[in-house]
Amino acid sequence: MRNVLLAALLLPWCASAAEATPEQAVSALWRASSNDAGGSADLATLERLFHADAVVFGGRYKDDGPVVRRWSAADFLKTFQGIRAQGFHECEVSRTLHTYDRFAVAYSVVESRADPNAPRADFVGVNSVQLYKVGTQWQVLSLYYHVEKPGLPIPIGTGRSGRCID
């Protein structure tokens, strides 16, 4: 009985410390964003990861011109709601992380595939994730992603295509 009480007391602390390091938070971001065909993203984890005031910027090319879009975290997370007919698998293949006190910034390269076993990514993006430690939880303050420009491949350093970091 004493163990059950101890577990009940510790459970909320353990749940809030799910991403106790910046590395864990970034890895959780990519895992939670993914889904199998007929499934959905892990919205509960994404909502926990994003700070209430977070912003997301997305960059890509359309008609050979650069386009950037801004979302609030709440609006961005709406895009992950619901069941998806097609799979969406994020595979982080490269990451550089810098941390100071309660602040961290991660630069990562992520390959996206509908089929996780496909030999080539459907598209590749470079990401900048700024994190802040709120209590014991690392949260995303901002995310900037930029989809690879045709003809200008994103270097992955020591990473390997198709081999996810985590």
Is the pLDDT at 26 greater than 70? The verdict is yes
| Tens-digit pLDDT profile for residues 107-119 | 999 999 999 999 9
User: Which helix or strand (DSSP H or E) is residue 4 part of?
Assistant: helix 2-16
CB half-sphere exposure, 152, CA atoms < 13 A? 9
Three-class DSSP category at 92: strand
Which residue's entry shows tokens 């390269």?
A: 109
Instruction: Judge contact between 37 and 85, C-beta under 8 A.
Output: yes
166: confidence class by pLDDT, cuts 50, 70, 90? confident
Topology, domain 19-147: Nuclear Transport Factor 2; Chain: A, (3.10.450)
Domain chopping of the chain, boundaries: 19-147
Average pLDDT across the chain, whole number: 91
145 token code pair? 């992603």
- The pTM (predicted TM-score) of the whole model is 0.87
